[in-house]
Structure 1
Amino acid sequence: MVEAMRRRMGVGLLALVLSSAAFGTSGPFAKALIEAGWSPGAVVLLRIAGAALLLLPVGLWQVRHRLQDVVRELPLVVGYGCLAVAAAQLGYFQAVERLAVGVALLIEYLGIVLVVLCVWALTRRRPHRLTGLGIVLALVGLALVLDVTGQRTPDLVGVAWGLLAATGLAGHYVLAARETTLPPFTFAGLGLGAGAVVLAALGLLGVLPMRAGASVVDVAGLDAPAWLALAELVVVAAAVAYVLGVLGARHLGSTLASFVGLTEVLFAVLFAWLVLGELPGPWQLVGGVVILAGVAAVRLGERAQAEESEHDGADFDLPSPVA
């Protein structure tokens, strides 16, 4: 029994680390395409639509005898697709056009803090002291990452896009925690499909530029076909990352999975260095560590408050990211 549990934990941990690494490749490869003239809207649409096409057959097969459940959950799925998929992915890819990959991802992870502030405002329930400490650390870390002392002025438009990504990530936490009868594969596939439809509609209306760039991109100083970078975003950074993330979360549970998911930032910085030769400055790296410490403190505080509030049915546990 103990051996089986250890094996299960080991499989879950390996799956989640590989999932975080796969997700961490999205920023560098997307930025390589963007620097080759591809618009962020086109890159994110192709990534989301491609991943949806890969995941939907499995997801729909799982509910082939329960299509009424799909119809009933459509409002939740569409909301998830608009906010957690379209807004989060578009905001992040637009941000990496103007900011370092690691900086953009760190700003997006502030979505966890936004969730806590929203819950506090709506429920009037004061956060746990660890949560409060985490919020302070996250804000201090953000100030270091953005270099508010003025040594290096950040691109405010890029910061704004990063905050949109943070809002989308917050939407993921709120909507993914809702009760649903849909399996994770089905929910993720339909959410990706809904997000792709929204982005495609914005492109057709001319609101969101859709532009294909050069057929060759610079990856780690080497010329690579643009289709290869797109395939990496669809297969590795989306489909494989989602599947491994679901597998790992089921083995470890959402709390432990969410902590392991923080390694995505480290992988993103590593891959940005290898693929783009891009590395944040010393103070930005320090700020990144402070932000991650703040996010970890928030999660610990929310977990502690959830345990203290079990008697009244309150749920403060945050699921792990899937986008």
Structure 2
Amino acid sequence: MSIKQMSGGAGPFIALLCGAVGIGFAPILVRLSEVGPSATACYRLLLALPFFWVWMQTESSENVKRPTGLALVISGAFFAADLAVWHWSIQLTSVANATLLANFAPIFVVLGSWLIWGQRCSRSFFGAVILVLLGACLLVSASLKLDAQYLWGDALGLLTAVFYAGYMLSVARLRVQFSTVVVSLWTSLVGGGLLLLIALMTGDQIFPTTLQGWLVLVALAVISQVLGQSLIIYALAHLPTAFSSLSLLLQPVVAALLAWALFKEALGLWQGVGGMIVLLGIVLARRTESPA
């Protein structure tokens, strides 16, 4: 069955791409944060909770069933681990290496879908995965570093992809029974609590020192979590998980454009070609088949 047939229209696909744009702001806002990396990730989730709570009040009671404890903990733990390990990898390798390896999540989503549920992707879809990853490599090629001293950080970057794949697979299953806001709220609550413990144990600076510092954290929560992740969670109920994870590689393209616009970071010819290849791969994946 094609993705178009499974998606029930263009709405979920557009929501997915908008969600990718939302989380594309995350690296920029993390760079502007005045607190430590784990504390920043913690605020991203916990400051989103009031928005999710207000949203939940607008839902009918039959749509706000609480997920089971195990499913809730698994999804929140995967997301907390994804953010914590990615921020840790950035400190031990180059930002380009950490970003590239973290975006290998589609490979682990496909592998997980096959191992857990016996789902397989078509050759054409797997070709689209290869194409998108090639584009991502070109996108960060200017600052990509191959050095033995970055080996541990690179391994953590790859582990980030594993954790994000686990998060997407678990959320996709939760969305079979529960609404977007329920999954968003409880995943953020569990993940935020775990990240708070990590921030305290690692000695992160916890509180911003200026009003601008607080505004950056609120913007991160609203743009990347309330809007970005919620749109992704919504789309996961309507689109195959493997395709969704692949489409989220739009994120580094958005982040590169924002870094160019805000921080005057140079974008060379190969970065532009890489971005176009990523977009082409997503379009090709949209036209082919993939597992649910």
| Normalised TM-score (structure 2) | 0.74
Q: 2:253 aligns with which of 255, 259, 266?
A: 266
Please name the residue that 1:32 is paired with.
Answer: 32
Contact 1:133 1:297 in 2 (8 A): no
Matched, 1:153 2:134: no
Query: In the alignment, is residue 276 of structure 1 matched against residue 269 of structure 2?
Result: no
CA-CA distance at 1:203 after TM superposition: 3.4
**1:12-161 residue pairs with structure 2 within 5 A?**
17-33=17-33, 36=34, 38-59=35-56, 62=59, 64=61, 69-70=65-66, 73-83=68-78, 85-96=79-90, 99-100=94-95, 104-121=98-115, 127-137=121-131, 140=134, 152-153=145-146, 155-161=150-156
Deviation at 1:13, TM superposition (A): 6.8
Distance 1:75 1:260, change over 3 A: same
Deviation at 1:232, TM superposition (A): 1.0
Find out whether 1:184 has 2:212 as its counterpart.
no
What number of residue pairs does the alignment pair up?
Answer: 279
Identity of aligned residues (%): 22
> Does the CA contact (< 8 Å) of 1:42 and 1:209 recur in 2?
no
Contact conserved, 1:59 with 1:183, CA < 8 A, in 2?
Answer: no
Aligned partners of 2:260 and 2:266 also within 8 Å? yes
Q: Give, as a single letter, the amino acid of the residue that structure 1 aligns with 2:39.
A: A
Contact 1:112/1:170, CA 8 A, preserved across alignment: yes
2:225 corresponds, among 231, 238, 246, to: 238
**Superposed CA offset, 1:58-101 (max 9, x none):** 3366375687x42x622111100000x21222234444555447
Tell me the amino acid that sits aligned with residue 45 of structure 1. Answer: C
Looking at structure 2, the residues matched to 13 and 139 of structure 1 have their Cα atoms a distance apart, in angstroms, of 20
How far has the Cα of 1:274 moved from its partner?
A: 2.3
Distance 1:118 1:12 in 2: 23
SS at match of 1:202: helix
Separation of aligned partners in 2, 1:210 and 1:183: 34
Q: 1:13 to 1:292 in 2, by over 3 A?
A: closer
- Over the aligned positions, Cα root-mean-square deviation in angstroms equals 4.1
Q: Please tell me whether the aligned partners of residues 62 and 186 of structure 1 are also in contact (alpha carbons under 8 angstroms).
A: no
Give the 5 Å matches for 1:185-224. Answer: 185-204=181-200, 206=201, 208-212=202-206, 215=209
Tell which structure's C-alpha radius of gyration is larger.
Answer: 1
Question: C-alpha distance in 1, partners of 2:117/2:12?
Answer: 34
Q: 8 Å contact 1:81–1:192 — kept in the other structure? A: yes
Q: Which amino acid letter does the alignment assign opposite residue 69 of structure 2?
A: L
Name the residue aligned to 1:311.
none
Unaligned residue ranges in structure 1 (runs of 5+): 1-7, 217-223, 304-315, 318-323
Residues 1:153 and 1:286: Cα distance change in structure 2 (over 3 Å): farther
Does the aligned pair in 1 maintain the 2:172–2:233 contact within 8 Å?
no
* Aligned residues of 1:29 and 1:229 also touching (Cα < 8 A): yes
Residue deviations 1:103-133 (CA, integer Å, cap 9, x gap): 6444333111112123344567764212443
**Partner SS for 2:265:** coil
Q: Which moved more, 1:282-291 or 1:156-165?
A: 282-291
Structure 2 gaps, min length 5: 1-7
Deviates more, 1:105-114 or 1:272-281: 272-281
Q: Is the 8 A contact 1:31 1:93 kept in 2?
A: no
